[in-house]
Amino acid sequence: MATATTTYREALREALREALSADDRVFLMGEDVGKYGGSFGVSLGLVEEFGPERVRDTPLSESAFVGTGIGAAIAGMRPVVEVMTVNFSLLALDQILNNAATLRHMSGGQLSVPVVIRMTTGAGRQLAAQHSHSLEGWYAHIPGIRVLAPATLEDARGMLAPALADPDPVVIFEHGSLYNVSGELAPVEGPLDVASAAVRRSGDDVTLLTYGGSLPKVLSAADLLAGEGISAEVVDLRSLRPLDDATIMASVARTHRAVVVDEGWRTGSLAAEVSARITEQAFYELDAPVGRVCSAEVPIPYARHLEEAALPQAEGVAAAAREAVGHRG
């Protein structure tokens, strides 16, 4: 089968369609996922295809419908719950942290919670401070759940199936800026490995570590750097919990320099965790302090120029990489 041109949104939809077709226990629910076709159009047409029993619109109560999903998962279903944005997911954080993530432990292994929770994250679309934050790092802090961040069409298409197959809760973060990204999608070949980070571009001088919506920016930064003779390796973390330390350390051991790019706020961020692990595990490989490029520590602004200034951008990433590589001797 040849590759087909598609978008990130369509790839997600195709994954949902496949899951709904393959397993009767799978159903989708969330705000406006049915008649409206999803707040970001991901589930467009699915209610017509699978009916309102399996593509369910819910009231505006994150705590209630995420809790319902957890209950359904315990009862043997394989729910996919869509939360409109990570900002709103905080209303359901009690359900996710205190129930979904703990029940296997607290029941002594008797209960599994095979729920998949999808949510949009990130800024860049002028949706202002209540719809734009990147709180993936908060979720990556929680033991008991798996946290995934598809950044490519292949991952958008392929991560749902292994997430549904996982007997424990999986949270999938879809960056809002990626939905319209289009490209060639290779046909699916077997189940996707969701435990590993991926080297998206090979290089020798510096490792740029990122995930999700920042990946395209970091790849542009690598292009900029290549023009200056700096060869940057780009690692896409893909799995934010657990982190794939082996791939990260292997890359740093080759390049001896690392810059972590994370749209979350710098303080207490996922970038901080990655940086700490590098100093713990690859300290004697480091030829420069680990750099971080994160969002400015402000609520994400609405005005376009301010929003752009607050977010990591390719030029800033390139600057941090130059700093790490230093005067080339």
Residue type, 134: S
C-alpha closest to that of 122 among 54, 76, 53, 181: 181
**Closer CB to other proteins, 165 or 288, in the complex:** 288
Stretch that binds other proteins, among 26-34, 84-92, 143-151, 321-329 (CB under 8 A): 321-329
Q: Can residue 288 be called a binding residue for other proteins (CB under 8 A)?
A: yes
Stretch that binds other proteins, among 24-32, 38-46, 216-224, 281-289 (CB under 8 A): 281-289
Query: What six digits make up the tokens of 100?
Result: 């979904």
Considering the candidates 10, 131, 136, 174, report the single residue annotated as catalytic.
131
Binding mask 238-257 for other proteins (x = CB under 8 A): ------------------x-
Q: Please state, as a whole number, how many other Cβ atoms lie within 10 Å of the Cβ of residue 258.
A: 30
Q: Can residue 229 be called a binding residue for other proteins (CB under 8 A)?
A: no
**Closer CB to other proteins, 32 or 285, in the complex:** 285
**Closer CB to other proteins, 143 or 284, in the complex:** 284
CB proximity list for 154: less than 8 A, separation 6 or greater:
11, 185, 186, 192
Q: Can residue 280 be called a binding residue for other proteins (CB under 8 A)?
A: no
Would you call 62 a catalytic residue per the annotation?
A: yes
Among residue numbers 104 through 133, which ones bind other proteins (CB under 8 A)?
none
Binds other proteins by CB under 8 A, chosen from 283, 297, 302, 304:
283
Task: State phi, psi for 190 to the nearest 5 degrees.
Answer: 70, 175
Q: Give the DSSP letter of residue 129.
A: T
C-alpha closest to that of 100 among 138, 61, 75, 74: 74
Give the three-class secondary structure for 207.
strand
Task: State phi, psi for 144 to the nearest 5 degrees.
Answer: 105, -10
Considering the candidates 10, 31, 62, 263, report the single residue annotated as catalytic.
62
CB of 323 to other proteins, least distance (A): 8
**Closer CB to other proteins, 199 or 253, in the complex:** 253
Q: Can residue 284 be called a binding residue for other proteins (CB under 8 A)?
A: yes
**Closer CB to other proteins, 148 or 282, in the complex:** 282
C-alpha closest to that of 99 among 128, 66, 125, 132: 66
Q: Are 328 and 267 in contact (CB under 8 A)?
A: no
Q: Can residue 329 be called a binding residue for other proteins (CB under 8 A)?
A: yes
Q: Can residue 286 be called a binding residue for other proteins (CB under 8 A)?
A: yes
Give the three-class secondary structure for 237.
coil
Query: What six digits make up the tokens of 41?
Result: 């159009």
Q: Can residue 76 be called a binding residue for other proteins (CB under 8 A)?
A: no
Helices and strands per DSSP (H, E), number in the chain: 14, 14
**Closer CB to other proteins, 45 or 326, in the complex:** 326
Stretch that binds other proteins, among 3-11, 100-108, 175-183, 283-291 (CB under 8 A): 283-291
CB of 322 to other proteins, least distance (A): 12
Q: Can residue 165 be called a binding residue for other proteins (CB under 8 A)?
A: no
Residue type, 125: R
Stretch that binds other proteins, among 77-85, 154-162, 266-274, 285-293 (CB under 8 A): 285-293
Would you call 131 a catalytic residue per the annotation?
A: yes
Q: Give the DSSP letter of residue 60.
A: S
Q: Is there a cis peptide before residue 169, judged by omega within 30 degrees of 0?
A: no
How far, in Å, CA of 295 to CA of 285, rounded?
A: 27
Q: Please state, as a whole number, how many other Cβ atoms lie within 10 Å of the Cβ of residue 321.
A: 28
**Closer CB to other proteins, 13 or 322, in the complex:** 322
Q: Total binding residues for other proteins by CB under 8 A?
A: 11
Active site residues: 62, 131
Binding site residues, other proteins, CB under 8 A: 256, 283-288, 326-329
